[in-house]
Structure 1
Protein backbone atom coordinates (compact mmCIF):
# COMPACT_ATOMS: atom_id res chain seq x y z
CA UNK A 1 0.00 0.00 0.00
CA UNK A 2 1.57 3.30 -1.07
CA UNK A 3 1.97 6.10 1.44
CA UNK A 4 -0.53 8.92 0.96
CA UNK A 5 0.64 12.52 0.77
CA UNK A 6 -0.17 15.03 3.48
CA UNK A 7 -2.23 18.12 2.80
CA UNK A 8 0.97 20.19 3.01
CA UNK A 9 2.71 17.98 0.43
CA UNK A 10 -0.31 18.18 -1.87
CA UNK A 11 -0.48 21.99 -1.60
CA UNK A 12 3.22 22.21 -2.47
CA UNK A 13 2.37 20.62 -5.84
CA UNK A 14 -0.21 23.29 -6.79
CA UNK A 15 2.22 25.50 -8.77
CA UNK A 16 3.02 22.61 -11.13
CA UNK A 17 -0.68 21.84 -11.65
CA UNK A 18 -1.42 25.53 -12.26
CA UNK A 19 1.14 25.55 -15.10
CA UNK A 20 -1.05 23.15 -17.12
CA UNK A 21 -1.64 24.35 -20.70
CA UNK A 22 -4.73 26.57 -21.04
CA UNK A 23 -5.56 26.37 -24.76
CA UNK A 24 -3.87 23.25 -26.17
CA UNK A 25 -2.82 20.21 -24.16
CA UNK A 26 -2.36 16.46 -24.55
CA UNK A 27 -4.48 13.38 -23.82
CA UNK A 28 -2.18 11.34 -21.55
CA UNK A 29 -4.34 8.29 -20.76
CA UNK A 30 -7.72 6.67 -21.48
CA UNK A 31 -9.38 4.45 -18.86
CA UNK A 32 -12.64 2.52 -18.98
CA UNK A 33 -14.49 0.88 -16.11
CA UNK A 34 -16.04 -2.27 -17.59
CA UNK A 35 -17.49 -3.19 -14.16
CA UNK A 36 -17.47 -1.67 -10.70
CA UNK A 37 -13.89 -1.45 -9.40
CA UNK A 38 -12.45 -2.76 -12.70
CA UNK A 39 -10.15 -0.59 -14.84
CA UNK A 40 -8.68 -1.02 -18.32
CA UNK A 41 -6.23 1.40 -19.90
CA UNK A 42 -6.58 1.86 -23.65
CA UNK A 43 -4.40 3.35 -26.38
CA UNK A 44 -7.50 4.57 -28.23
CA UNK A 45 -11.25 4.48 -27.83
CA UNK A 46 -14.50 5.47 -29.50
CA UNK A 47 -16.66 8.10 -27.82
CA UNK A 48 -20.28 8.56 -28.88
CA UNK A 49 -23.45 10.40 -27.93
CA UNK A 50 -25.18 7.09 -27.20
CA UNK A 51 -22.40 5.14 -25.52
CA UNK A 52 -20.14 7.72 -23.90
CA UNK A 53 -16.69 6.11 -23.68
CA UNK A 54 -17.22 2.74 -25.36
CA UNK A 55 -16.55 -0.12 -22.97
CA UNK A 56 -17.15 2.02 -19.88
CA UNK A 57 -20.00 1.10 -17.56
CA UNK A 58 -21.60 4.58 -17.85
CA UNK A 59 -23.95 3.34 -20.58
CA UNK A 60 -25.01 0.37 -18.43
CA UNK A 61 -26.32 2.68 -15.74
CA UNK A 62 -24.53 5.16 -13.56
CA UNK A 63 -24.97 7.08 -10.34
CA UNK A 64 -26.96 9.82 -12.11
CA UNK A 65 -29.83 9.00 -14.44
CA UNK A 66 -32.67 10.61 -16.33
CA UNK A 67 -36.34 10.10 -15.29
CA UNK A 68 -36.61 7.19 -17.77
CA UNK A 69 -33.69 5.43 -16.04
CA UNK A 70 -31.16 5.99 -18.81
CA UNK A 71 -27.71 7.30 -17.82
CA UNK A 72 -27.46 11.09 -17.58
CA UNK A 73 -25.56 12.54 -20.56
CA UNK A 74 -24.06 15.32 -18.43
CA UNK A 75 -21.83 12.77 -16.66
CA UNK A 76 -20.87 10.76 -19.78
CA UNK A 77 -17.17 11.55 -19.69
CA UNK A 78 -15.06 12.10 -16.57
CA UNK A 79 -11.93 14.14 -17.31
CA UNK A 80 -9.09 14.76 -14.89
CA UNK A 81 -5.86 16.74 -14.94
CA UNK A 82 -2.88 14.40 -15.32
CA UNK A 83 -0.63 16.64 -13.21
CA UNK A 84 -3.13 16.62 -10.33
CA UNK A 85 -3.68 12.86 -10.36
CA UNK A 86 0.04 12.22 -10.74
CA UNK A 87 0.66 14.24 -7.57
CA UNK A 88 -2.21 12.60 -5.68
CA UNK A 89 -1.57 9.01 -6.86
CA UNK A 90 2.21 9.27 -6.62
CA UNK A 91 2.69 6.98 -9.62
CA UNK A 92 1.14 6.89 -13.11
CA UNK A 93 0.41 3.20 -12.55
CA UNK A 94 -2.17 4.26 -9.94
CA UNK A 95 -3.95 6.94 -12.03
CA UNK A 96 -6.71 4.55 -13.15
CA UNK A 97 -7.83 4.08 -9.54
CA UNK A 98 -9.39 7.54 -9.77
CA UNK A 99 -11.97 6.09 -12.17
CA UNK A 100 -11.89 8.93 -14.67
CA UNK A 101 -12.00 8.31 -18.44
CA UNK A 102 -9.68 10.91 -19.94
CA UNK A 103 -6.46 12.06 -18.26
CA UNK A 104 -5.24 15.29 -19.81
CA UNK A 105 -2.37 17.72 -19.40
CA UNK A 106 -4.75 20.68 -19.58
CA UNK A 107 -6.06 23.42 -17.29
CA UNK A 108 -9.50 22.25 -16.13
CA UNK A 109 -10.13 25.23 -13.85
CA UNK A 110 -13.52 26.91 -13.68
CA UNK A 111 -11.93 30.07 -15.12
CA UNK A 112 -10.48 28.22 -18.13
CA UNK A 113 -13.31 25.75 -18.78
CA UNK A 114 -16.70 27.04 -17.63
CA UNK A 115 -19.79 24.93 -18.26
CA UNK A 116 -20.67 25.05 -21.95
CA UNK A 117 -17.05 25.30 -23.15
CA UNK A 118 -16.40 22.89 -26.00
CA UNK A 119 -13.21 20.87 -26.39
CA UNK A 120 -11.77 19.00 -29.37
CA UNK A 121 -9.81 15.79 -28.78
CA UNK A 122 -8.92 13.68 -31.80
CA UNK A 123 -12.11 13.35 -33.88
CA UNK A 124 -14.33 14.12 -30.87
CA UNK A 125 -15.98 17.28 -29.62
CA UNK A 126 -16.99 17.41 -25.94
CA UNK A 127 -18.89 20.02 -23.95
CA UNK A 128 -18.12 20.74 -20.29
CA UNK A 129 -21.25 20.29 -18.13
CA UNK A 130 -22.32 22.02 -14.92
CA UNK A 131 -22.40 18.92 -12.72
CA UNK A 132 -19.56 19.08 -10.17
CA UNK A 133 -17.07 16.22 -9.99
CA UNK A 134 -16.30 15.85 -6.30
CA UNK A 135 -14.10 13.52 -4.33
CA UNK A 136 -15.91 10.76 -2.42
CA UNK A 137 -15.27 8.00 0.10
CA UNK A 138 -13.73 5.72 -2.56
CA UNK A 139 -11.34 8.52 -3.58
CA UNK A 140 -10.35 8.92 0.09
CA UNK A 141 -9.89 5.14 0.48
CA UNK A 142 -7.61 5.01 -2.56
CA UNK A 143 -5.60 8.21 -2.12
CA UNK A 144 -6.03 9.25 1.53
CA UNK A 145 -8.16 11.61 3.57
CA UNK A 146 -5.89 14.57 2.86
CA UNK A 147 -6.26 14.00 -0.89
CA UNK A 148 -10.04 14.18 -0.45
CA UNK A 149 -9.73 17.42 1.55
CA UNK A 150 -7.37 18.78 -1.13
CA UNK A 151 -9.69 18.17 -4.12
CA UNK A 152 -12.82 19.26 -2.22
CA UNK A 153 -11.25 22.46 -0.81
CA UNK A 154 -12.25 25.85 -2.23
CA UNK A 155 -9.02 25.95 -4.29
CA UNK A 156 -9.52 22.33 -5.32
CA UNK A 157 -13.03 23.06 -6.56
CA UNK A 158 -11.98 26.27 -8.35
CA UNK A 159 -9.19 24.40 -10.17
CA UNK A 160 -11.35 21.27 -10.62
CA UNK A 161 -8.61 19.13 -9.10
CA UNK A 162 -11.01 16.18 -8.93
CA UNK A 163 -11.85 16.74 -12.58
CA UNK A 164 -14.85 17.73 -14.66
CA UNK A 165 -17.72 16.06 -16.47
CA UNK A 166 -18.43 16.47 -20.16
CA UNK A 167 -20.92 15.21 -22.71
CA UNK A 168 -20.17 14.07 -26.25
CA UNK A 169 -21.25 16.57 -28.94
CA UNK A 170 -19.50 14.91 -31.89
CA UNK A 171 -18.65 11.19 -31.87
CA UNK A 172 -15.32 9.77 -32.99
CA UNK A 173 -12.04 8.21 -31.90
CA UNK A 174 -9.56 9.57 -29.35
CA UNK A 175 -6.01 8.33 -28.95
CA UNK A 176 -3.43 8.75 -26.21
CA UNK A 177 -1.18 11.56 -27.45
CA UNK A 178 -4.01 13.44 -29.18
CA UNK A 179 -4.13 17.18 -28.73
CA UNK A 180 -6.93 18.61 -26.58
CA UNK A 181 -7.91 22.18 -27.35
CA UNK A 182 -10.61 24.69 -26.57
CA UNK A 183 -13.01 25.54 -29.38
CA UNK A 184 -14.23 29.09 -29.78
CA UNK A 185 -17.94 29.77 -29.84
CA UNK A 186 -19.42 30.23 -33.31
Structure 2
Protein backbone atom coordinates (compact mmCIF):
# COMPACT_ATOMS: atom_id res chain seq x y z
CA UNK A 1 0.00 0.00 0.00
CA UNK A 2 1.30 3.48 -0.86
CA UNK A 3 0.21 7.09 -0.62
CA UNK A 4 -2.34 6.52 -3.42
CA UNK A 5 -5.00 6.42 -0.69
CA UNK A 6 -6.64 9.79 -0.11
CA UNK A 7 -8.16 10.80 3.22
CA UNK A 8 -10.84 13.48 3.58
CA UNK A 9 -9.31 16.20 5.69
CA UNK A 10 -11.36 16.77 8.84
CA UNK A 11 -12.05 20.32 9.93
CA UNK A 12 -10.89 21.73 13.25
CA UNK A 13 -14.50 21.68 14.48
CA UNK A 14 -14.84 17.98 13.59
CA UNK A 15 -11.59 17.08 15.33
CA UNK A 16 -12.32 19.10 18.47
CA UNK A 17 -15.81 17.59 18.67
CA UNK A 18 -14.32 14.08 18.72
CA UNK A 19 -11.45 14.65 21.12
CA UNK A 20 -13.54 13.59 24.10
CA UNK A 21 -13.26 10.01 22.80
CA UNK A 22 -9.47 10.27 22.78
CA UNK A 23 -9.45 11.69 26.29
CA UNK A 24 -11.41 8.61 27.43
CA UNK A 25 -8.76 6.19 26.15
CA UNK A 26 -8.13 3.46 28.74
CA UNK A 27 -5.23 4.03 31.09
CA UNK A 28 -2.91 1.22 32.09
CA UNK A 29 -4.49 -1.56 30.03
CA UNK A 30 -5.55 -1.26 26.39
CA UNK A 31 -5.48 -3.04 23.06
CA UNK A 32 -3.23 -3.26 20.01
CA UNK A 33 -5.60 -2.14 17.25
CA UNK A 34 -3.19 -2.32 14.32
CA UNK A 35 0.41 -3.11 13.40
CA UNK A 36 2.01 -1.65 10.27
CA UNK A 37 5.32 -2.38 8.57
CA UNK A 38 7.13 0.21 6.43
CA UNK A 39 9.43 -1.78 4.13
CA UNK A 40 10.34 1.35 2.14
CA UNK A 41 9.63 5.08 2.13
CA UNK A 42 5.90 5.77 1.69
CA UNK A 43 5.07 2.04 1.55
CA UNK A 44 2.83 0.49 4.22
CA UNK A 45 1.91 -3.11 4.96
CA UNK A 46 -0.96 -3.68 7.40
CA UNK A 47 -0.17 -6.83 9.40
CA UNK A 48 -2.37 -9.29 11.27
CA UNK A 49 0.72 -10.15 13.31
CA UNK A 50 4.23 -8.75 13.56
CA UNK A 51 7.56 -9.72 15.07
CA UNK A 52 9.31 -7.34 17.45
CA UNK A 53 13.09 -7.61 17.81
CA UNK A 54 15.49 -5.77 20.10
CA UNK A 55 17.96 -5.13 17.25
CA UNK A 56 15.79 -4.16 14.29
CA UNK A 57 12.57 -3.05 15.98
CA UNK A 58 9.65 -4.40 13.96
CA UNK A 59 11.04 -7.10 11.67
CA UNK A 60 10.83 -6.08 8.00
CA UNK A 61 10.40 -2.40 8.82
CA UNK A 62 12.83 0.14 7.39
CA UNK A 63 13.75 1.81 10.72
CA UNK A 64 17.23 0.25 10.65
CA UNK A 65 17.90 1.86 7.24
CA UNK A 66 16.57 5.31 8.14
CA UNK A 67 19.23 7.92 9.00
CA UNK A 68 18.48 10.12 12.00
CA UNK A 69 19.31 13.78 12.44
CA UNK A 70 19.38 13.13 16.21
CA UNK A 71 22.49 10.90 16.18
CA UNK A 72 26.01 12.21 15.64
CA UNK A 73 26.74 9.76 12.82
CA UNK A 74 23.16 9.88 11.42
CA UNK A 75 22.65 6.20 12.23
CA UNK A 76 19.11 5.05 13.13
CA UNK A 77 18.23 6.34 16.59
CA UNK A 78 17.99 3.41 19.04
CA UNK A 79 15.26 5.15 21.03
CA UNK A 80 13.07 5.65 17.95
CA UNK A 81 12.68 2.01 16.87
CA UNK A 82 8.90 2.16 17.17
CA UNK A 83 6.35 4.92 16.64
CA UNK A 84 3.21 4.33 18.71
CA UNK A 85 0.00 6.32 18.19
CA UNK A 86 -3.46 6.41 19.76
CA UNK A 87 -5.92 4.51 17.55
CA UNK A 88 -8.87 6.67 18.61
CA UNK A 89 -7.13 9.79 17.39
CA UNK A 90 -6.15 8.18 14.09
CA UNK A 91 -9.73 7.07 13.53
CA UNK A 92 -10.89 10.60 14.31
CA UNK A 93 -8.70 12.17 11.61
CA UNK A 94 -8.60 9.30 9.08
CA UNK A 95 -11.95 7.52 9.43
CA UNK A 96 -12.56 3.82 10.08
CA UNK A 97 -10.54 2.41 7.14
CA UNK A 98 -7.41 0.78 8.59
CA UNK A 99 -5.44 1.33 5.37
CA UNK A 100 -6.03 5.06 5.85
CA UNK A 101 -4.71 4.81 9.41
CA UNK A 102 -1.46 3.38 8.10
CA UNK A 103 -0.72 6.63 6.24
CA UNK A 104 0.29 8.11 9.61
CA UNK A 105 3.52 6.14 9.31
CA UNK A 106 3.47 4.67 12.81
CA UNK A 107 4.05 0.97 13.40
CA UNK A 108 1.79 0.39 16.41
CA UNK A 109 -1.75 1.77 16.83
CA UNK A 110 -3.07 1.26 20.34
CA UNK A 111 -6.27 1.99 22.22
CA UNK A 112 -4.46 3.35 25.26
CA UNK A 113 -3.89 6.68 26.99
CA UNK A 114 -0.48 7.80 25.68
CA UNK A 115 -0.35 11.11 27.53
CA UNK A 116 2.76 12.23 29.37
CA UNK A 117 0.91 11.88 32.67
CA UNK A 118 -0.02 8.27 31.92
CA UNK A 119 3.22 7.09 30.28
CA UNK A 120 6.33 9.03 31.27
CA UNK A 121 9.61 8.15 29.59
CA UNK A 122 10.90 4.84 30.92
CA UNK A 123 7.44 3.28 31.22
CA UNK A 124 7.35 -0.29 29.95
CA UNK A 125 4.40 -1.83 28.13
CA UNK A 126 3.77 -5.55 27.68
CA UNK A 127 2.10 -6.46 24.38
CA UNK A 128 0.49 -9.87 24.25
CA UNK A 129 2.10 -12.65 26.28
CA UNK A 130 5.80 -11.86 25.89
CA UNK A 131 6.76 -8.66 24.04
CA UNK A 132 7.84 -5.62 26.04
CA UNK A 133 8.54 -2.11 24.76
CA UNK A 134 9.77 0.96 26.61
CA UNK A 135 8.62 4.55 26.13
CA UNK A 136 11.62 6.80 25.40
CA UNK A 137 12.19 10.52 25.83
CA UNK A 138 12.53 11.19 22.10
CA UNK A 139 9.70 13.48 20.89
CA UNK A 140 7.48 12.32 18.04
CA UNK A 141 6.33 15.39 16.15
CA UNK A 142 3.97 16.04 13.26
CA UNK A 143 5.68 16.79 9.95
CA UNK A 144 4.74 18.13 6.52
CA UNK A 145 3.76 14.65 5.33
CA UNK A 146 1.33 14.31 8.23
CA UNK A 147 -0.27 17.65 7.31
CA UNK A 148 -0.50 16.66 3.65
CA UNK A 149 -2.17 13.34 4.45
CA UNK A 150 -4.58 14.40 7.18
CA UNK A 151 -4.93 18.16 6.74
CA UNK A 152 -3.61 21.34 8.28
CA UNK A 153 -6.16 21.29 11.08
CA UNK A 154 -5.07 17.81 12.18
CA UNK A 155 -1.49 19.07 12.12
CA UNK A 156 -2.43 22.13 14.19
CA UNK A 157 -4.23 20.06 16.82
CA UNK A 158 -1.23 17.79 17.44
CA UNK A 159 0.90 20.89 18.02
CA UNK A 160 -1.61 22.47 20.41
CA UNK A 161 -0.86 22.49 24.13
CA UNK A 162 -3.40 19.75 24.79
CA UNK A 163 -2.30 17.81 21.71
CA UNK A 164 1.26 17.78 22.97
CA UNK A 165 0.21 16.73 26.48
CA UNK A 166 -1.95 13.90 25.12
CA UNK A 167 0.79 12.91 22.65
CA UNK A 168 -1.75 12.97 19.83
CA UNK A 169 1.06 12.51 17.31
CA UNK A 170 2.22 9.53 19.31
CA UNK A 171 5.40 8.54 21.11
CA UNK A 172 8.70 6.82 20.44
CA UNK A 173 9.64 3.49 21.98
CA UNK A 174 12.26 0.77 21.84
CA UNK A 175 11.92 -3.00 22.03
CA UNK A 176 13.03 -4.50 25.35
CA UNK A 177 11.78 -8.07 24.85
CA UNK A 178 11.16 -9.30 21.33
CA UNK A 179 8.22 -11.56 20.48
CA UNK A 180 5.35 -12.00 18.06
CA UNK A 181 2.45 -9.60 18.53
CA UNK A 182 -0.94 -9.60 16.83
CA UNK A 183 -3.94 -7.38 16.34
CA UNK A 184 -6.19 -7.52 19.38
CA UNK A 185 -3.39 -8.24 21.85
CA UNK A 186 -3.66 -6.67 25.28
CA UNK A 187 -1.28 -3.77 25.89
CA UNK A 188 -0.51 -3.55 29.59
CA UNK A 189 1.54 -1.03 31.54
CA UNK A 190 4.12 -2.77 33.72
CA UNK A 191 4.93 -1.67 37.27
CA UNK A 192 7.85 0.70 37.58
CA UNK A 193 11.16 -0.92 38.44
CA UNK A 194 11.83 0.00 42.08
CA UNK A 195 15.58 -0.36 41.52
CA UNK A 196 18.07 -2.01 43.88
CA UNK A 197 17.14 -2.05 47.58
CA UNK A 198 18.61 0.73 49.68
CA UNK A 199 21.66 -0.18 51.75
CA UNK A 200 21.19 0.30 55.45
CA UNK A 201 24.11 1.81 57.28
CA UNK A 202 25.28 0.08 60.47
Bin for the TM-score computed over the shorter chain: over 0.9
Structure 1 regions of 5+ residues with no counterpart?
A: none
Size of the aligned set, in residue pairs, is 186
Contact 1:151 1:157 in 2 (8 A): yes
Q: Does 1:106 align with 2:112?
A: yes
Distance 2:69 2:134 in 1: 18
Of 125, 132, 139, 2:146 maps to 139
Give TM-score scaled by structure 2 length.
0.88
Matching residue of 1:74: 79
Give TM-score scaled by structure 1 length.
0.95
When residues 159 and 116 of structure 1 are mapped into structure 2, their CA distance, relative to the original with a 3 A threshold, is same
Which has more radius of gyration?
2
Contact 1:61 1:71 in 2 (8 A): yes
Distance 1:107 1:2 in 2: 25
Matching residue of 1:125: 132
Structure 2 regions of 5+ residues with no counterpart?
A: 1-5, 194-202
Matching residue of 2:162: 155
Q: How many angstroms does 1:67 deviate by?
A: 3.4
Matching residue of 1:96: 102
Runs of 4+ in 1 over 4 A off after TM superposition: none
Distance 1:4 1:118 in 2: 34
Contact 1:64 1:75 in 2 (8 A): no
Matching residue of 2:199: none
RMSD over aligned Cα atoms: 1.3
When residues 68 and 30 of structure 1 are mapped into structure 2, their CA distance, relative to the original with a 3 A threshold, is same
Matching residue of 1:166: 173
Distance 1:4 1:21 in 2: 26
Distance 1:183 1:174 in 2: 17
Of 28, 34, 37, 2:33 maps to 28
Distance 1:25 1:3 in 2: 28
